[in-house]
């Protein structure tokens, strides 16, 4: 719980009428214009709630800001001469803003513009009380203040998205809190990070998968859908391959795997997920039961390709200390594509209710299912 230097009740009504992410007139904020220094809030950069960890004392919070979502430490974002950098953190943002904060959009893509695209309209914003940054007008709680250029505070220990809690805290940049505003009867959203599923997997993982799907399709690969199963703690990305397009492409397994790796592991989305699994489009990648069945019956030892030089998020729990320091390692692509799927031949079909019986019989069974005594 953060106790702020000043606390005021605010309705967050849109006094200015400005909008975040409007289709034609986006509000691009670089900080409180008169000072001209950059901001890690508003349109400049969005961060997801999991970055809020643990503060020092009663008027500061610390956050992990190296690599990934933000890309560099705030100390590199401060104004010349070490002037403090203003910041604002929204707790309880509009759903579209929450989704965008967890989505690994490519560098240069306007995140506030993306929010407007998801919502179909710009998000109404107001200025913060102390530093003039823009925040959503209907936010539940807003913390604001400045980022220290050289101070750090302990982060953790706490549960993480992969389901583990390591015993040691780490020094991270310190965010000084100078004010907190909130709605009447504000709701503080909380993500209890740990063993899946929780919101890191349902929100963050889903948005990672959405971005990966777009990247793979844009590269011309025969991809139907990419998905991060909730149960795999955002450590698996299962990619469904369109088998008709696969045959038409006349590619080989080696070539397909390396093309997928080249696209994904060179992207922000691929940086976040260490293991990629390829399956045919007869597998519903959103059904963990089907994914496990495909792994058990279609994976052939030797069809896992490792990419030790590919960069990746250092929070993956199985990485060695050396891999964490180097910033790469632990990445792989596993092919569960059967050899005949590359040529269009059929050696075996799936034996299931959906595939082994005539449609008329299936409809009859489903219609009488309750009469059989089942629910």
- List average pLDDT for each run of 10 residues in the chain, which is 375 residues long: 29 39 30 29 38 53 60 48 82 86 82 85 90 91 88 84 87 88 91 90 92 96 98 96 97 97 94 96 97 96 93 92 92 96 92 94 94 89
The answer to whether 334 touches 303, Cβ cutoff 8 Å, is yes
Active site residues: 160
- With 0.95 as the threshold, say if the pTM is over it: no
Q: Does domain 199-345 have CATH number 3.30.1330.40?
A: no
pLDDT in tens, 286-317: 999 999 999 999 999 988 999 999 999 998 99
Boundaries of every domain in the chain: 7-182, 199-345
Question: What are the helix and strand counts (H, E) for the chain?
Answer: 11, 13
Sign of torsion over alpha carbons 70, 71, 75, 78: negative
Give Cα separations from 217 to 185, 238, 363 (angstroms).
45, 14, 35
pLDDT in tens, 209-229: 999 999 999 999 999 999 999
Which residue in this structure is represented by tokens 């993982």?
205
The per-residue pLDDT for 66 is 52
């Amino acid at each position: 719980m953060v106790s702020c230097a000043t606390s005021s009740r605010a309705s967050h009504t849109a006094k200015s009428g400005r909008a975040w992410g409007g289709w034609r007139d986006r509000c691009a904020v670089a900080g409180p214009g008169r000072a001209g220094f950059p901001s890690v809030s508003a349109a400049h950069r969005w961060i997801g709630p999991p970055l809020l960890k643990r503060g020092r004392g009663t008027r500061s919070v610390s956050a992990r800001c190296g690599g990934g979502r933000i890309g560099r430490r705030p100390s590199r974002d401060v104004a010349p001469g070490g002037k403090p950098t203003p910041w604002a953190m929204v707790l309880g943002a509009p759903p579209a803003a929450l989704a965008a904060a967890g989505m690994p959009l490519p560098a240069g893509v306007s995140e506030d513009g993306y929010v407007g695209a998801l919502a179909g309209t710009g998000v109404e914003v107001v200025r913060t009380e102390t530093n003039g940054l823009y925040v959503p007008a209907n936010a539940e709680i807003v913390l604001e203040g400045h980022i220290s250029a050289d101070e750090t505070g302990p982060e953790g220990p706490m549960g993480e998205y992969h389901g583990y809690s390591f015993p040691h805290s780490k020094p991270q940049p310190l965010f000084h809190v100078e004010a907190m505003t909130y709605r009447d009867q504000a709701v503080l959203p909380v993500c209890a990070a740990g063993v899946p599923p929780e919101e890191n997997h349902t929100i963050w993982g889903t948005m990672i998968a959405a971005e990966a799907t777009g990247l793979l399709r844009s590269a011309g690969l025969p991809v139907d859908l990419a998905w991060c199963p909730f149960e795999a703690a955002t450590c698996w990305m299962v990619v469904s391959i369109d088998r008709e397009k696969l045959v038409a492409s006349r590619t080989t397994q080696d070539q397909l795997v390396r093309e997928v790796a080249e696209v994904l592991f060179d992207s922000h989305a691929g940086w976040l997920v260490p293991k990629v699994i390829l399956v045919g489009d007869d597998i519903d990648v959103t059904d963990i039961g089907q994914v496990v069945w495909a792994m058990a019956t279609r994976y052939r030892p030797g069809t896992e390709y490792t990419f030790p030089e590919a960069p990746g998020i250092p929070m993956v729990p199985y990485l060695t200390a050396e891999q964490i320091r180097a910033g790469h390692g632990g990445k792989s692509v596993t092919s569960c594509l059967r050899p005949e799927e590359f040529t269009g031949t059929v050696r075996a079909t799936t034996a299931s209710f959906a595939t082994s019986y005539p449609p008329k019989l299936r409809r009859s069974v489903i219609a009488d299912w309750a009469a059989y005594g089942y629910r």
